Structure 1
């Protein structure tokens, strides 16, 4: 059964149906004249085993305000996207009273109803929303990577999460299925599960996510060992991606090394609504993959699943050498953009269930497994807020746990508004996780009220930990100065005794000539996606200047 699009209008239903005719091949189109009629259509679809991908409604309905209607439909199908298509006679009149609701997540887009054929601006918004729905909710129709496993264990889920973040839809198949037997025949009989087969690649028996990343995307040994690249970027988050785009577009040979999925922590964000130029928001995965494709277009080489273990600074004009667990890269300049890792909870019974109901980061793939369950998110930053909003599309309840007395100090206003509006999300302040357990999967958590000392036990099927930042730079040599927390020092933050000729390094330069830092790894950085992207772009002129001295 095809997913449904429900078009709701008292007077212009035929116009909307005609306009949405281009989607009839892939979606079932339904027209309703009121909020109540749309609810009835929804219940019929659900009773037949179907689902609703998108509601498109006029700004005025006969039996409810449009925001009340969206709230009612959301209770029934929380995963559906919601759009107002205002008739041109109402578009300017209704906009002031409705746009604030979009900022609070009450709906996804406010559009002008098409007035003629080929209104591609309108349909660009619709296809963006349907694409977002398809990548986060629906099982993929087109599978790029096939995974064979008898169980949905932590490793299988981690592999799917990596593939989702890389924009590669995947499917899981039983060993005795037709697909499973075909892939098993390509590997030795004793190959351990999970087996992973990507299109036009040799299948692999994966023992880690990195095995899959290397099998699909290669290792630095694929480079000519005699080649010295202009720029080696360590880290594929927003800062590293921006560096790659601007460096490669200006003719510099550029290599990006990423230990996990391209996008870094930002790539796990379900929806970033305050990134410049995306009025309807964009998922971290899509932002990262668009940037990656842009960098590829200019000639950047990407290697994922590779852990950088050492950096040997060049001396007397020799290139720097970036050493990974899969090979070495020699580069005239290095940009450290390895970002940060989520701080560990360090509650042993909970740590033992990582991958089995407990996840560090948003774990977008795991969100689908939380349907009708009670879920907890630990963290007070924007990443935690975005994770909670996304999980609320699936889970019965989502509780944000934060040690502080409120979220206002650490979370953006637009997210606070979304959280306050969403009836499935509650915030529990002054609370930490001190215990947890379950039989092979998380089943309960022990919570501590830090003000009263009272400890309670609550049922929980999922725990998502977004606990703040620890730098990813233990691999750096001592010659690269860092602060007491381990973040890289640049520019005037470098201690005066390490300046050269009484002058500090340039703003994004480290204490080693030709080695730079950008994004969250840098001491004093803002820890925002846009700020990291800006630093990644800003470091390229400094690289040019350095290369001009060689």
Structure 2
């Protein structure tokens, strides 16, 4: 039996060119099937689904004998929601079709449209195909080659957290039960008395009673390995888009750069299933891929990452090194000449006891994209009205039978980007319930039901629920910062001219991204007045470097008496 994922080509006048291009590049790893015309394409897709064949992509010529690619691809989700959908446009038809294609892409009738190759080695065409297939492989397919193994009982909460971490980091992994034959070697390597979950990382290290924090620290190096006496030029606390951008620019400009992250590198943005409005990625990019590429980029310039423990204090060094800051994490510390706070924010809790008791057992704070595959044909709820909530709902809708977005406001348009609102409206198995909150919930060890309350009339309804994803807006956690760092009334870090005048020095405010403590800067979502967007956070991470250089130059001048 051929168990390769299927690429279904729905062809018209250019059938030979289309089939030749796909077979030349993808025939080893994918089963290439063809169908002539829209009706035949849908019939073949239905037959493949009935046979249990995974369909990775449906690519259709724009002009077919019985319709267009737009009409066909619009109908595909009712047959297979997870397949990537591509319109293939001959060059000679492009000018006439471009307006319709753009409108269809905005409506999310397709994932993308692209010109057919006009000759050999059309790498732009194949780059687009490879990106779409890569995203399908990450978000839909089970990995064939894994680099990390997790051994745990079914529905183990710690194992679920580890799986979510690995998913956000882009590490292919598999979850085994102790009864699986493949698990025996791993359990034996853990030694007698080992406790589940057991994790074998890509380095070969085996962890007993593993946690997400222990796994990430094992993969990226523990804080205890920081050489004693080392002073970094810049310590970046937080590895979301702002921290990663700061790391890339700092390391590329020759600064000794250390990044501290308590969770998964990528921050909350790393859990976004697809970011479609980030500059330079016309077909969109998942948060995981963006974080993965940024991490690799910073690492190649020399930035060092330490993960798994939160920063708990920033304090000035002893009198003889007063210019330095000491960043403390549990059980370790790092000395740095400057500190960039890029710690982001935390999702607000529901504060509904019956629900919060089930966190990790059907209830998740954040997108938890790793759980989407486990919710096939289930009833899922998403709480929140921001872009993260919208992206999570659209991704979950590819798997779940029904997705309901719960939002306090009268409409999504007040807090969500227009492109996402349109995508949600165009997704038939997503329902939006406005002015509605979760009042209660529960289940026997796993979420089974929710009670929803309408804020206008107070009416409550009890409903079955298999998953609840909470993306409720966020609050900063700045309790670990020194008292000298000024915060606004909501706890966000004040910088530049937003700093109270009484904290200005000689009538001058701090630099634009500098806090009230010289040498400590703040960028991204943790900073008061930030835009709370991936692109703006990245921009601030890059923009802080001239300020860091200026502070380091002043330190050198004082040190040498200049």
Q: What is the SS of the residue equivalent to 2:489?
A: coil
- 1:107 aligned partner: 110
1:313·1:512 contact (CA, 8 Å) conserved in 2? no
Match of 2:195 among 192, 195, 213: 192
- 2:14 aligned partner: 12
- 1:286 aligned partner: 289
**CA RMSD of superposed structures (Å):** 1.1
Match of 1:301 among 299, 304, 312: 304
Deviations 1:119-168 (A, max 9, x none): 11000000000000000000011101011113232211110110111111
Q: Post-superposition shift, 1:326?
A: 4.3
1:503 paired with 2:508, answer yes
1:311 paired with 2:314, answer yes
Match of 2:482 among 447, 472, 477: 477
**Separation in 2, partners of 1:338, 1:290:** 19
Matching of residues 345-356 of structure 1 within 5 Å: 345-356=350-361
1:452 paired with 2:454, answer no
**Separation in 2, partners of 1:206, 1:253:** 35
- 1:323 aligned partner: 328
Deviations 1:298-352 (A, max 9, x none): 0000111111111113466441110011421110000000000000000000001
- 2:418 aligned partner: 413
Q: Post-superposition shift, 1:89?
A: 1.6
Q: Post-superposition shift, 1:276?
A: 0.3
Matching of residues 400-549 of structure 1 within 5 Å: 400-549=405-554
The runs of at least 4 aligned residues of structure 1 exceeding 4 Å deviation read none
1:69 paired with 2:77, answer no
Match of 1:391 among 367, 390, 396: 396
Q: What is the SS of the residue equivalent to 2:502?
A: helix
Aligned residues: 550
1:369 paired with 2:374, answer yes
Deviations 1:355-396 (A, max 9, x none): 111100000101111110111100000000000000000001
Normalising by structure 1, we get a TM-score of 0.98
- 1:31 aligned partner: 34
Q: What is the SS of the residue equivalent to 1:511?
A: coil
1:86 paired with 2:64, answer no
- 2:126 aligned partner: 123
Q: Post-superposition shift, 1:427?
A: 0.7
- 2:184 aligned partner: 181
Closer/same/farther in 2, CA of residues 326 and 2 from structure 1, 3 Å limit: farther
1:336 paired with 2:336, answer no
2:157·2:361 contact (CA, 8 Å) conserved in 1? yes
- More displaced 10-residue stretch of structure 1: 321-330 or 61-70: 61-70
**Separation in 1, partners of 2:148, 2:331:** 23
1:219·1:327 contact (CA, 8 Å) conserved in 2? no
- 2:216 aligned partner: 213
**Separation in 1, partners of 2:163, 2:476:** 25
**Separation in 1, partners of 2:54, 2:43:** 13
- More displaced 10-residue stretch of structure 1: 506-515 or 322-331: 322-331
Give structure 1 stretches of 5+ with no counterpart: none
- More displaced 10-residue stretch of structure 1: 252-261 or 5-14: 5-14
1:206·1:212 contact (CA, 8 Å) conserved in 2? no
Normalising by structure 2, we get a TM-score of 0.96
2:504·2:510 contact (CA, 8 Å) conserved in 1? yes
2:11·2:61 contact (CA, 8 Å) conserved in 1? yes
